[in-house]
A and B are shown apart, each in its own frame.
Chain A
Amino acid sequence: MTENVQAPETKLTDRVLRLLGVRVRPFRALLRAYVLMDFRSQQFGRATASKPKDLITPLFWVVGQYLLLSVIACAVLFARVDAFFFALVNLGVSMLVIGTSLIVEFNEVVLDAEDLNVIGHQPVPLRTYSAARMTNLLGYVLLMTVALNLFPAIIGLGLRDTGWAYLPAYTAAAFLGNLAVVGCLLLLYTTWMSGRPNDSVREVLAWTQTILIMIAFYGGQMVFRDSQDRLEMAAYNLPDWVMYLPPAWLAHFVDSTAPASAGTKWWIPGAGVFVNLVLWTLVMQRISVAYARMQPAGTAWQRATLPALKEPGRLNGVLMKWLSASRTESAAFWLCSTMLRRDQDLRMRSWPSLGVIIAVVLLGLFTGQLGDPFINRDLKTSVLPIAALYLLAYPLPTIIHNLNFSRDHAAAWLLWSAPVADRVAFAEGMRKAVTYRILMPLLVLLLIIFSLLWRDVWHALFHVAVGWLVVVGAGHAAQIGILRRFPFSSAAARGSITGSIALFSGAVSATAMSLAVVHYFALGSLTGFAVYFAALAMLVWVLRLFSQRVIQQRFALVASYE
């Protein structure tokens, strides 16, 4: 680090930085610290619950997931569609994912008032601070863009209708597209939200993301389940409105570099560069203004007095008494319920995981594949109603994991000093808050939909009852695998939302999907279903006992925070 900080003045980068009015030494030190934080805050920090010996950081997992996403997209499209459609889908996915990634994982870093606590008293000029922050942000965008586009950029070369010019053309298009998306989002944040995220707008963004994930999932399902070759036909008979989408403009440029094309459309990247230059000039200005305001009593600084918040239920209310078995359980239930209502960040990070279930139900409704599996065992109509139940296991680990984090994590000392003698009851209250506040309404919605579709309330009720067991079982599994600390006691870190529990979530989902297969075969007879139902209830009971044991041994121990 010393070598870097005391780099010779003759270096080109130093001269450029000085030309921009940036002080080299603090810039380098800050940038290095930010990059280090990107890894360390995830690998060793409390936010990720990963042990200091872990080598694979959450950021590594996130990059891996993006690589996986893009390789799957390429494998589905490769050799089936033309270069235009191949580039269109991959660029679209890339722009969508970088946008959602920025919203979900990165928005706090754009304007983090906590930086003031660390460097506020240091002689760091605003321009230098802004430059370091922006360089770090651009580095993140660069890494994610590479992860999302590495496969399409290379695999696209193997398409029948591409030449060697495809590689640089696609790479340029991917960077132009992703930079424009990030620039637009930053401009949106810093202009519409006045440097301080507005709760309602963030809520809208959270739901926008959920809807986008639903659309992506819906589209993916269509591709894999469709026997009518709609993917190929969609690429062949592309609707005109697609051409108005920005990814289509970039895909046109990529396609125009093909050997059979009439000529390269250079004006498209030219316009893209111009738009990005204008956009990022505005972003730099807005962000610098936001950073300048980031001082005690400034707009970015948390207000000394908070507006009065609506009380979300009483600790000794009827619902609380009915749902919880003890005062400790009620306290945890109330705390988590309150935070699930009040904490915008928590909601924003949690809701997207529900998108998969909503997408499956919508897919089933639109394609007429939500048949009654008790009557018709045709795979085409019974897969989705069964999958909708077992996918309920997927959001639980994510949401319970998200309960670890809070912007006000420092206040967790209250929990440490509170007389929480029964840790099992406390953890149970947390699980119940997620189960009853989030998944129970979803199950009721499923019950209504199935009842209306099947015109048989009992079938719907028995079907959803299995879903309830899945929810409870996945909750206990999450207690076993995730719950190690008091809720809201860690600061969120980049990559922590999707990264650190990816493997565990995958294992829970895989187990649930295996059970879904057993469920399908058990529906062959009433006895078979009854036996399966009893076995599932038994499994949930075993998980419950095991989770109690694990919580007693591991939950909220001092060692778990080291």
Chain B
Amino acid sequence: MNKQELRTLTGQLLLLCAMLAGSVVLAVLIATQRGFFEKFIEERYAALPASLKPLADAAAEGRLDPEAFNKLSLPERLFLYDDWMARPEPLPAGTPRSLVAADSGLYLTRAERTIVSGSEKQKLRALNFLELAGAKDAIPILRKARQWSIKRRTVEITARITETLERLERN
């Protein structure tokens, strides 16, 4: 088909169809590459400022000073969560309980956000955080997350949420 023919009504309609056909190919390509897109879904955790290191260590040992904690700003409090989430294994088991005891609403909501928008590994660690925190307030959060996970057909996460939920309900 030459340029003259492309300028006809049929030619222009064919051009439109070609663009739409190309879009279909691209759409199919994207639809089949969910794994690629999921690689970019992860939370980024800020490095713990040196000034907060003693507080993080104290939280890990279950000796968090409430007075010192209350002086922290909201972002500073979240640094402590970020630090726990970013730490290499083995994770200090005392931190979640200390943090949730100090500010239950903030840390439970933060862990819920990780379960929703973190990577698979981060989600599992956030569930670990909730389990170690042992807070009853985490139960409704986990129930909702379980429903959401079942609907999204994330089998491994659903199983892990169910386990965590059962343990928390049992205790």
Contact = CB atoms under 8 A, between A and B. Distances in A.
Interface of A: 32, 35-36, 39, 43, 53, 55-57, 59-60, 63-64, 67, 71, 74-75, 78-80, 82, 143, 146-147, 150-151, 153-161, 228-229, 232-233, 236, 258-260
Contact of A258 (B6, B9, B151): B151
Q: Which 3 A-B pairs have the closest CB atoms?
A: A158-B31, A154-B27, A232-B117
A55 to B, nearest CB: 6
Given A155-B30, A158-B32, A67 B23 contact: yes
B153 A64 contact: no
Interface residues of B, number: 32
B70 interface: no
B58 interface: no
B148 A82 contact: yes
B27 A39 contact: no
A45 to B, nearest CB: 13
B116 A36 contact: no
A260 B151 contact: yes
B79 to A, nearest CB: 14
Contact of B24 (A36, A150, A160, A236): A150
Residue among B15, B31, B38, B116 with max Cβ neighbours from chain A (10 Å) = B31
Contact of B148 (A155, A229, A236): A236
A150 B15 contact: no
Interface in B71-117: 113, 116-117
Nearest to B43: A229
B140 to A, nearest CB: 13
A260 B154 CA distance: 12
B41 A260 contact: no
Nearest to A228: B113
Contact of A43 (B7, B16, B31, B34): B7
B152 A39 contact: no
Nearest to A35: B9
Given A160-B34, A259-B153, 12 more contacts: A43-B12, A59-B16, A67-B20, A71-B27, A74-B27, A75-B30, A78-B30, A79-B41, A150-B23, A150-B24, A158-B34, A236-B116
A229 B44 CA distance: 11
Contacts of A151: 23, 26-27, 30
**Main SS class of interface, A:** helix
Interface in B1-53: 3, 6-7, 9, 12, 15-16, 19-20, 23-24, 26-28, 30-34, 37-38, 41, 43
B113 A260 contact: no
A462 B163 CA distance: 61
B116 A229 contact: yes
A143 B30 contact: no
Interface of B: 3, 6-7, 9, 12, 15-16, 19-20, 23-24, 26-28, 30-34, 37-38, 41, 43, 113, 116-117, 148, 150-154
Given A160-B34, A229-B43, A258-B151, A155 B27 contact: yes
B30 to A, nearest CB: 5
A60 B16 contact: yes
A161 B113 CA distance: 20
B38 to A, nearest CB: 5
Given A82-B152, A229-B43, A236-B116, A67 B19 contact: yes
B7 A157 contact: no
Nearest to B30: A155
A55 B151 contact: no
A79 B117 contact: no
27 contacts: A32-B9, A36-B9, A39-B12, A43-B7, A53-B3, A55-B7, A60-B15, A63-B16, A67-B23, A71-B27, A74-B27, A78-B37, A79-B38, A79-B41, A146-B20, A147-B20, A150-B23, A150-B27, A153-B27, A158-B30, A158-B33, A228-B113, A232-B113, A233-B117, A258-B151, A259-B153, A260-B150
A155 B36 CA distance: 13
Nearest to A163: B153
B22 to A, nearest CB: 9
A88 to B, nearest CB: 14
Nearest to B7: A55
Contacts of A147: 20
Contacts of A229: 43, 113, 116-117
Nearest to B150: A260
Given A55-B7, A63-B16, A67-B19, A233 B24 contact: no
Nearest to A143: B16
A146 B13 CA distance: 14
A60 B13 CA distance: 9
Contact of B3 (A55, A67, A153, A260): A55
